[in-house]
């Protein structure tokens, strides 16, 4: 395969990221026919199909997955070149696309991003929030450079470090006197409030309640953390949140925080990114920044 097809790898990457030839063309500031021709040229050079075209989406074939891994490495190299040699007001000195679960984005992340921005003022840093599952999917698709998630995913080819440690707490209305009061009243179910179903924090609270109480539990999905806090404040239920976030987010709300036993309370937030050889300079520098403890930041 000749070196002249390297730009076509970037086209392949944009098609997979965009999910269609039309949107990829818009992102590349070209026409769809040009994108199609570049992909056909790349497939001829590879000798195999690289994309599977479905009714509403485009997915890479197994060979396309291999080509996509190379494309991600090439994209990281291009980002490093921009970072190193960019000059002038219009020059891009690199981008860092972070993803984070919302509780971490609101509590631990600001201090780390601010410290990184002071060290690398010309890197454009963006933060996108979502569930751990959705963020990891975006990371593997090359849409994000690094993500903060609540579980250690153990994905081959990706590194993970414990970025932050915290404690899970029960967030309850101010009228609740104690956890003993919560665990009693077996005749009525406990309303457990959650931002979205499948939350690992809520799973821990449910495990605790199942072990310590005969009360049944009723889940209520609310969509936002603000909604969860508001419902808790008026006595509509309880929730599980990291103590650092809950203490900050509670503000002037009339809420109480109750501790959980250690086996339920211990929390770790993981920073996941591609291996250093597949990451941009900006991403590797951010990983190093997270590995260096700083005042006000709980780092592993």
Give the C-alpha distances (Å, rounded to integers) separating 51 from 38, 40, 47, 91, 250. Answer: 12, 10, 12, 33, 48
- On whether both 151 and 274 belong to a single domain, the answer is yes
Q: For residue 240, what pLDDT is reported?
A: 95
| 88 is a domain residue | no
Residue 124 in any domain: the answer is yes
Q: Domain check: are 286 and 276 in the same one?
A: yes
Coil, strand or helix: which one is 78? helix
Q: Give yes or no: residues 178 and 251 share one domain.
A: yes
Q: Quick one: 29 exposed, middle or buried, by C-beta within 10 A (0-12, 13-18, 19+)?
A: exposed
CATH of the domain at 20: 1.10.10.10
* Phi, psi dihedrals of residue 101, rounded to the nearest 5°: -65, 150
Residue 132 and residue 190 in one domain:
no
* Contact assessment for residue 8 and residue 44, using Cβ atoms and an 8 Å cutoff: no
Please report whether residue 173 resides in a domain: yes
30 and 117 share a domain?
A: no
Q: What angle do CA 257, 260, 264 make, to 5 degrees?
A: 135
Output the CA–CA distances (angstroms, integers) from residue 239 to 14, 82, 182, 277, in the order listed.
Answer: 40, 45, 12, 41
Regarding whether 250 and 201 lie in a shared domain, the answer is yes
Which tokens sit at 167?
A: 């404690």
66 and 102 together in one domain: no
- Does 144 lie in the same domain as 279? yes
Residues 218 and 186 grouped into a single domain? yes
Residue 208 belongs to domain spanning:
167-266
Of 72, 104, 119, the residue that ends a domain is 72
Q: What is the CATH number of the domain that holds 239?
A: 3.40.190.10
pLDDT (0 to 100) of residue 299? 40
pTM greater than the 0.75 cutoff: no
Which of 57, 72, 87 is a domain's end point? 72
Within a domain: 79: no
Q: Is residue 298 part of a domain?
A: no
Per-residue pLDDT of the chain (300 residues; tens, 9 = 90+): 567 778 888 888 888 888 888 888 888 888 889 889 989 999 888 889 999 887 777 888 889 888 888 887 888 777 767 666 654 433 345 789 999 999 999 999 999 999 999 888 888 899 999 999 999 999 988 889 999 999 899 998 899 999 999 999 999 999 999 999 888 876 788 999 999 888 889 999 999 999 998 888 999 999 889 999 999 999 999 999 999 999 888 777 899 999 999 999 999 999 999 988 888 888 888 998 888 754 433 443
Residue 196: phi, psi to the nearest 5? -145, 145
Q: Do residues 229 and 205 share a domain?
A: yes
**Structurally, how many domains does the chain consist of?**
3
Tally Cβ neighbours within 10 Å of residue 189: 12
Q: Are the beta carbons of 229 and 171 closer than 8 angstroms? A: yes
Q: Which of these three, 72, 103, 119, is where a domain ends?
A: 72
Domain contains 85: no
Amino acid 247: pLDDT:
87
Whether residue 151 is found in the same domain as residue 271: yes
Clarify whether residues 104 and 222 are in a common domain: no
3-state secondary structure of 128: strand
Q: Specify the pLDDT at position 78.
A: 77
- The pLDDT value recorded for residue 251 is 76
What does 156-168 look like in DSSP terms, one character per residue? TTEEEEEEEEEEE
């Amino acid at each position: 395969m000749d070196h002249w097809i390297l730009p076509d790898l970037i086209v392949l990457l944009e098609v997979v990221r965009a999910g269609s030839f039309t949107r990829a063309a818009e992102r590349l500031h070209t026409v769809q026919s040009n994108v199609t021709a570049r992909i056909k040229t790349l497939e001829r050079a590879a000798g195999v199909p690289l994309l599977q075209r479905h009714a509403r989406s485009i997915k890479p074939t197994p060979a396309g997955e291999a080509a996509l891994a190379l494309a991600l490495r090439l994209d990281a190299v291009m980002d490093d070149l921009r970072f190193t040699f960019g000059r002038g007001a219009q020059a891009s000195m690199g981008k860092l696309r972070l993803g984070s679960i919302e509780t971490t984005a609101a509590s631990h992340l600001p201090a780390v991003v601010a410290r990184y921005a002071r060290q690398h003022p010309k890197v454009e840093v963006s933060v996108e929030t979502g569930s751990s599952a959705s963020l990891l999917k975006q990371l593997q698709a090359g849409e994000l450079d690094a993500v903060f998630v609540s579980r250690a995913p153990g994905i081959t080819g990706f590194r993970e470090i414990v970025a932050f440690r915290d404690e899970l707490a029960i967030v309850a209305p101010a009228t609740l006197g104690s956890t003993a009061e919560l665990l009693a009243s077996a005749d009525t179910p406990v309303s457990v409030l959650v931002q979205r179903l499948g939350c690992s924090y809520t799973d821990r609270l449910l495990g605790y309640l199942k072990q310590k109480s005969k009360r049944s539990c009723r889940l209520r999905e609310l969509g936002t953390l603000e909604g969860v806090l508001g419902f808790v404040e008026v006595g509509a239920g309880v929730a599980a949140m990291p103590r650092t976030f809950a203490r900050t987010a509670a503000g002037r709300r009339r809420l109480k925080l109750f501790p959980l036993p250690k086996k339920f309370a211990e929390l770790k937030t993981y920073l996941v990114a591609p291996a250093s050889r597949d990451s941009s300079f900006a991403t590797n520098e951010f990983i190093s920044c997270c590995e260096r403890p700083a005042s006000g930041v709980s780092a592993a």
